[in-house]
Each structure stands twice: as structure tokens, then as C-alpha cells.
Amino acid sequence: MKLIERNKGIKERIYISKDELELIESQLSLEAHIQRYAFVRQYAHGIVLDCACGCGYGTYMLSKNPDVKLVVGIDRSEKAIEYAESNYFTAKSYFVHCNEIKEFTSKNNIDQLISLETIEHLKNPIDLVDMAVKNNIEQLIISFPTKKSSHYNKFHYHDFSYNDIEELIGRFYNIKDFFEYKREVGFIFAQKNIKKEN
């Protein structure tokens, strides 16, 4: 508020402290992530697995779609899951702590896996695909940075192109749609391969 008041009117230059700049940049990043959940929410349905749900706000957002019966949020951070359970647990959303994605086995028949900005954080991205196959999940919605990010984000192990993702999931899933959001994040919509019996 002080920042807005100070910069009211037409100015030739904007003076802003480093702390204020960092705060605004952090807020923009959070808003962008919320917008991505809002975008994929319209495609969510049935029983959904929100993989790497963090503190749970995205899981809760997905659960607000009337076509969704239940959303299970999983994350390897016990602290994040505790926060999610305290703040976002509802009749349609609950949370599970899971040290490794590949360890997760659901008690439910999951229709859809939604995983936003996760795959680049995994040392072994194939673990995400293997877990989806193990749980017999029919549909995937995966997002990833389409520009190189591993050189400035210490939590990113990989940089992916569309072809990289297609190669990673192609043995088990067919990509049905691809969207690029603001030329920086790609969304892959994939359906499980159906093998024809001879």
C-alpha cells in the first residue's frame, strides 16, 4: 500500500527498494501458479491425484470443480502435508505424505493425475510415469517450464522440451493436447495407451 501511495501519479522513474521488489516478484510467481491450477481445474474430473501438492491450495482449487468426486494431494514434505491438512482438508480433498512419488499406491481408482511444475524437480522423472502406470491412471495433465530453468533454479534437475516429455511418457501414454502458457509453461494432456489384443 505504501508503495502504491508513494508512486501515485505520473513519474519519470519508479523508486522501489530491493525488499519491495523481491516481495512483488514472489507474489507474481504465486499468482502465476494459482492461475495454472485455475486453468487445469476446468479439465479435472472423477478422482484426481494432485502430485506434489505442496501446502494444498491447488488440491483444494481442483476439488471445487463439480465434476471432481475427490482429490488426493501427495507431497514428500511432511511439513507441507501437515499445513495442507490443517488448512485445505475437505470432504472432497485429503492429503498423504509420501517420501518418494514412486512409493505411492492409492486405495482409490484414480481417473486423472495432475502434476504442475513437478517433473523438473525429480531426479528420476520416470518415477512419475511408473507411479501413474502402477495405479492404473487413465489420464495425465503435466506442466513443465518450456524454457531453460535449471541454471537459475537449484530445485530443477532437468530442462524439458515437448519431445523430451513425449519420449518420457510415450511408452504408456499418448499425448492428446499440448498448450503453451505465456510462452513459458507447457501443459501436456495425455491418455493411457490402449493395447489391442490379437
Please write the tens of the pLDDT for every residue from 160-182: 788 888 999 999 999 999 988 77
Asked if residue 149 has pLDDT above 70, the reply is no
Question: How is the chain split into domains, by residue range?
Answer: 44-192
For residue 1, pLDDT over 90 is answered with: no
Can you tell me the distance from the alpha carbon of 94 to that of 192, in angstroms, rounded to the nearest whole number? 25
Grid cell 505520473 in the structure block, residue: 10
For range 13-21, the mean pLDDT: 91
Of residues 146, 168, 177, the one with CA closest to residue 159: 146
Say which CATH superfamily domain 44-192 falls into: Vaccinia Virus protein VP39 (3.40.50.150)
Q: Judge contact between 161 and 146, C-beta under 8 A.
A: yes
Beta bridge partners of 73: 50, 95
Flag whether pLDDT at 185 surpasses 50: yes
In this prediction the pTM is 0.85
Reported as a pLDDT band with limits 50, 70 and 90, residue 154 is low
Percent of the chain past pLDDT 70, that is, above it, reads 85
- How far apart are alpha carbons 174 and 167 in whole angstroms? 10
- Between the alpha carbon of residue 132 and those of residues 117, 164, 175, 184, the distances in Å are 16, 18, 15, 25
Q: Say what the pLDDT of residue 42 is.
A: 95
